[in-house]
Amino acid sequence: MKKTFALLISVLILVACEKAPKEMRTPVDTLFHNGKVITIDAGMSIASAVAVSGENIVAVGGEELLDEYVSGNMVDLGGKVLMPGFIDSHTHISGQPQRYIDLTETKSIEEIKGLVSRKAVELGEGEWITGYGWSEDFMEELRRPLRADLDEAAPANPVLITRAGGHSAVANSLALRQAEVTSSTPQPDGGVIEKDQDGELNGVIRERQDIVSHLIPEPTHEEVRDSLVAELKRQLSFGITSLTHATGSIEAFPEWEFIYGQHRGSLPRASVQVFWIDPDAMQKFGKKSGDGDEHLRVGPIKIFVDGGFTGPAAYTREPYKGETEFRGKLSIEPAELSRIISELNAAGWQTGIHAIGDAAIELAVDELVLALDENPRVDHRHYLNHFTVMPSAETMQKMAEYGIAITQQPNFTYTLEGRYVDYLDGERLEHNNPLRTPMNHGIHVAISSDILPIGPMVGLYAAVTRKGLSGRVFAKDEALTVMEALQGYTLYGAYLSFEEDRKGSIEPGKLADMIVLDQDILSIDPAHIMDIKVEQTWLGGRLVYERAE
């Protein structure tokens, strides 16, 4: 009798361990399983299965989820990595007119000249030619394109092509003549008109290329709309499911609303930074930071405090390497900066402030502190973009105390290595684009790209290895672990847009914005991080990108 009872108990246990019948399991839209799920939750846990219903994650765990849920869309990950989609918290997305040339992949000045020459033939004489993305660091000639190069390529067309990063550009002679820029033109506020050793214009303008570009005809929204949509969709191929567009305006925001209305659910979630005008104009706009929905929302106010390093024009405490006085330039008068920050903070806006040099960072932080002392806010989430030259410990302590965050671009350490070596020295060179030090001070540090380049893998590689393009390692003590870098590119970016409760990690109740990688980023040699490809991108539980074999 005892043996029979024991056998019965064993049978019941075996039956209980079997999968529940399908009709007893909870139906979901998609069930991912048999993978390595990097959740980015509070415990940095690793799972193997995720259940998704509608746009949301409903369960995360092991293969036991297959006993609890059933779906007609089973995604066998085959051991590959599933992780939250990347959140690029500082990037620039734009559509382009016919006059534009993409120069991001150019490797020589001769190649640039060929592209400009062919565009001149396509457009005809007299039409403006523009372009973006060249970098002297990638040129076979190891120099920048100059006025003479563009004159040779298109003598009958005004040409202005912008360096990667957007902080300098080169114009040809016709463009300079039309803009009435000569060798005797006074240097513009906040910028530099370069001259050669003979005192003649070489065509390069730092920071204030608007003295020429204001002549370029503005394209209509209709002219660039398709290319803007295409560029937004291209972000999905990098695994970017959310982004902050850093060059918007209140005038352009309705066009973004139109596009997102037409393509709802098929574009990365976006926050659009805008520029401050005055309290009345911003009130008339009728929106503030955070207004919108989970697809499109108004982002922070954008303020330029200084320039960049491609010029160079970042505002530093000490003169640039080899200089006795030149420390870059402010892009805004301190009194004007103080007024704007005070007004927008009082009005309840968030700021995302461009500050690259240490002197610019310290000025911006001091003004934010003054504004917050004047009008305290519990959860303002003001932050600085870039933070390239590390400021004083006192400034970082203020940032931690007042909750002033950073979105940092470690990819600059890689792609702008040559600029830093040319212009910086000592500790400020070694600790360019610091990560660990501000984190150790208690500052919230997100990671973004600023399109140099867009792909997150370069930023992750540089954050973990601290290597420049040459392979040189800069201040290894600033490096992050792979998991910390992934946090910076996901959950910490969501925090900057007040959305960490809805995205940035794989947890129940959050949006199913996820990507599949072709290699395990946690176990791969960090030297090969840039080789990792995004195989799939899921946005709100829908497959929106799949890499071709």
Q: How far is CA 536 from CA 66, 84, 231, in A?
A: 22, 12, 17
Residues of the chain with pLDDT under 50: 1-2, 4-18
As given in the structure block, the two tokens for residue 534 are: 């995004």
Whether residues 471 and 350 share a domain: the answer is yes
Among 68, 83, 192, which residue's Cα sits nearest to residue 490? 83
As given in the structure block, the two tokens for residue 233 are: 């969709």
Whether residues 341 and 192 share a domain: the answer is no
Given 183, 213, 243, which residue is the final one in a domain? 213
CB 225 within 8 A of CB 95: yes
Please report whether residue 8 resides in a domain. Answer: no
Please report whether residue 320 resides in a domain. Answer: yes
Given 427, 453, 480, which residue is the final one in a domain? 480
Radius of gyration of the chain (CA): 26
Other beta carbons within 10 angstroms of residue 275's beta carbon come to: 15
* Domains: count for the chain: 2
Reported as type and span, the H/E element at residue 302 is strand 296-304
Beta bridge partners, 383, equal 352, 405
Can you tell me the distance from the alpha carbon of 511 to that of 538, in angstroms, rounded to the nearest whole number?
10
Other beta carbons within 10 angstroms of residue 389's beta carbon come to: 29
Whether residues 194 and 332 share a domain: the answer is no
Whether residues 309 and 448 share a domain: the answer is yes
Whether residues 335 and 207 share a domain: the answer is no
Please report whether residue 52 resides in a domain. Answer: no
In the prediction, which pLDDT does 217 show? Answer: 94
**CA triple 99-301-371, angle to 5 deg:** 150
Other beta carbons within 10 angstroms of residue 188's beta carbon come to: 17
Whether residues 202 and 329 share a domain: the answer is no
What is the DSSP track for 309-340? TTTT----SSPPTT-SS----BSS-HHHHHHH
In the prediction, which pLDDT does 308 show? Answer: 86
Please report whether residue 504 resides in a domain. Answer: no
CB 52 within 8 A of CB 12: no
Owning domain of residue 205: 100-213
Expressed in angstroms, the distance from the first to the final Cα of the chain is: 63
Please report whether residue 274 resides in a domain. Answer: no
Whether residues 326 and 191 share a domain: the answer is no
CATH number for position 353:
3.20.20.140
CATH number for position 160:
3.10.310.70
Note if the bond before 453 is cis, omega within 30 degrees. Answer: yes
CB 143 within 8 A of CB 129: no
Backbone CA torsion sign across 484, 487, 493, 495: negative
What size, in residues, is the chain? Answer: 549
Please report whether residue 454 resides in a domain. Answer: yes
Whether residues 319 and 460 share a domain: the answer is yes
Among 473, 502, 505, which residue's Cα sits nearest to residue 487? 505
Whether residues 310 and 423 share a domain: the answer is yes
Q: Quick check: helix, strand or coil at residue 293?
A: coil
Please report whether residue 294 resides in a domain. Answer: no
Whether residues 468 and 323 share a domain: the answer is yes
As given in the structure block, the two tokens for residue 362 are: 């310290």
In the prediction, which pLDDT does 6 show? Answer: 47
Whether residues 358 and 467 share a domain: the answer is yes
Given 213, 247, 272, which residue is the final one in a domain? 213
In the prediction, which pLDDT does 21 show? Answer: 65
Can you tell me the distance from the alpha carbon of 30 to that of 38, in angstroms, rounded to the nearest whole number?
18
Whether residues 309 and 457 share a domain: the answer is yes
Reported as type and span, the H/E element at residue 31 is strand 30-33
The contacts of residue 187 (CB under 8 Å, 6+ apart) are: 193
Please report whether residue 476 resides in a domain. Answer: yes
Can you tell me the distance from the alpha carbon of 40 to that of 57, in angstroms, rounded to the nearest whole number?
14
